[in-house]
A and B are shown apart, each in its own frame.
Chain A
Amino acid sequence: MPTTIPTGDNARKDRLIHHGSGGELFVIFLVNIALKVVTLGIYHFWAKTRIRRYLWTQAGFDGERFEYTGLGGELFFGFLKAMGVLIGLVLLGSILSGVLGMIHPALAALPMVALYITFFVLVGMGIYSARRYTLSRTRWRSIRFAQTGSPLTYARKMIGYTLLTVFTLGLYAPFMKNRLMGYMLSNTYFGTEQVTYDGEGRDLFKPFIIAYLLTLPTLGLVWLWYKAAEWRYIAGHCRLQSLRFSCDVTGGQVFGLMFTNLLLIAFTLGLAFPWVLLRTVRFAFAHLAVAGELDYSAIGQSPESVPGTGEGLVQAFDMGGI
């Protein structure tokens, strides 16, 4: 199997640690709810930032914790900007549609079709820009992460590959995943140090075909095993300077995690969400081994400019998670 990666001489799984406490995270959620009620929901952006800051601060690598420097106001203004763009586009489309409709009724649909295509482009751009924002607000050893590359290029690739996937009845999916992942990862920086990714879609094609064929008999559960294979593969093909990564998660373990998470959520009416979130992070950390040592003196502060507002489009389309 191409998905098994040699873990290297000094690969250790205890270098990434999460110190978070479910109780403290629960309190953060509660305070957020209270403030959202009082502010008629506007606190949402600050609430999200508060949760991120807790999750980032409590995550450590090699004895140094991560830092999240984003601000709620940045998310709020990003959201306002994106809403402005969306409303402007819809207005423009409706006016154009009305004007063209007066010339010929069939023409009235054209601006609306253009609007739909624009929305797809915006979704792609939004996903890419959101990651750029989050990375630019993430620091470790006082060095910022960054993402270069163009949101428009990413959106173009996403739409092109999606069409290819549709035309090939889904068979292009592993290639699409690898190309999009590759574009994101190899445009990712820790300070001046660039991440490299050398994964190829064809290496995942065999497990993909197996999952594809077994979808019906396993009621779709086989895709958990495929996901595990995909994560192992992606982790194994990433590098940051002399750091190498490997992941040993199995489909059965992913199934166990998802199943227990589901039970926890169902039996507590969702109140266990903070604990579910933390155990999922810990699960990921526990299965990610890191080998090699960074030459810290060779890594300088990120020269990339920092975006002023964040994640507007993702929030406008309600795609944002934590």
Chain B
Amino acid sequence: MFEGHLADGVTAQRRPVRVRLSGQYLHVYDPEGKALDTWPLKGLRLAEEVYRGQPVRLMHADRDDACLTVTSQGILEPLLAHLPRVRRRLFVRGSTAGRVVFWTLAVVGLCAGLMLAVPHLARPVARAVPMGWEQAFGRQVVHSMVPTRCTGAAGQAALDRIVGRLSAVQDSPYTFQVSVADTDRVNAFATPGGYIVVFRGLIDSADTPDEVAGVLAHEMGHVIRRHPTQAMVRSLGFRVVAGAFMGDASGLASSAADLGRSLLELSYSRQDEAEADRVGAGLLRRSGIGTAGLVAFFNRLRKAHPDRAPGALRFLASHPGLSRRIRALGTPSTPSRPVLSPGQWQALKQICTGSPE
């Protein structure tokens, strides 16, 4: 016999009862021993998860709102034999501390595993992205990140000439579309779908068209190896894993997760840079432009921003140490024939002086 009380769900009253389990039935008696009701075990369920020291509350599919509370210990064990599904709602055995340790390790392990798996999944997933999507997305990125584009017709023709010479020696399915952004920064980037944006600051700072060709070859290397699309997929994957924390954890924890995510993304972008250098150098050599321009560009960058970050901090920089990249490019070679005529080079330098878009 177990002690407890029964609330019938009709009024808020509850009456003390005794409960006896026999065969497939729970017999409910009043304290005097008069039979009140008989609940079949079929259709019986727990009202909620049961933790240690908590009364067991039972509901029944055929008893509407009624709730039978059993306060004395020991009803769970015999019930378990009849209701195997009840087991996963019981937290009466084992210690809280044990559960905390087990689940902390499990969740940390799961998330770490997923975080490490995402980059490996990015390559095959990126390969499955249709080129049409890449191009549509790339166009969007260029539109939103480049507010003012330079439209000098002769300058654009000079730029297309360099890209034409470089893309003639490779066979990727992408058509490269290069545009110049009217921004002072010395930089360039590639988007999914073959769009490349060069900042005016880079063209201003370049001494020769060979340097611009070097940077373009590097960016084309990114596109050929599908780095922008992979980075997109990777970032999305990290975001999904990190995002699972956001709902539950506080702002601080989620920004910690964000920091981890950007560190991971950075370390992969370093590999991407080295790979783009390698592919770009191949394009430069095969097209007869040579790597001297790219090396000259890196040398000038190094003078402007020496590799200040020593040792341990170097992994934080997204571009691997410039000295290391210059060494990796090998002996610089010069163009077999000029990249641009002096007139074309002038036009490219002045691509932004016309009426901007």
Chain A positions within 8 Å of B, measured between CB atoms, are 19, 21, 23-24, 26-27, 29-34, 36-38, 40-41, 44, 47, 53-54, 57-58, 64-65, 67-69, 139-144, 190-191, 265-266, 269-271, 273, 294, 296-301
Contact = CB atoms under 8 A, between A and B. Distances in A.
Contacts of A298: 11
B135 to A, nearest CB: 25
A26 B244 contact: no
Contact of A273 (B13, B96, B99, B250): B250
Given A24-B51, A37-B114, A301-B11, A265 B252 contact: yes
Given A31-B103, A53-B49, A54-B49, A273 B10 contact: no
B237 to A, nearest CB: 10
Given A40-B240, A67-B57, A67-B67, A27 B249 contact: no
B222 to A, nearest CB: 28
A141 B7 contact: yes
B96 A299 contact: no
Interface string B57-89: 100000001110100000000000000000000
A21 B49 CA distance: 14
Contacts of A41: 240, 243-244, 247
Contacts of B90: none
Q: Taking each of A23, A24, A54, A142, which has the highest tally of chain B beta carbons within 10 Å of its own beta carbon? A: A142
Interface residues of B, number: 46
Nearest to A34: B107
A37 B110 contact: yes
A21 B253 CA distance: 22
B248 A33 contact: yes
Contact of A23 (B57, B67, B96, B107): B96
Q: Taking each of B244, B252, B254, which has the highest tally of chain A beta carbons within 10 Å of its own beta carbon? A: B244
B253 A271 contact: yes
B333 to A, nearest CB: 49
A300 B11 contact: yes
Given A33-B245, A142-B66, A269 B252 contact: yes
A270 B253 contact: yes
A301 B107 contact: no
Contacts of B91: 24
5 contacts: A34-B103, A37-B240, A143-B9, A296-B11, A298-B11
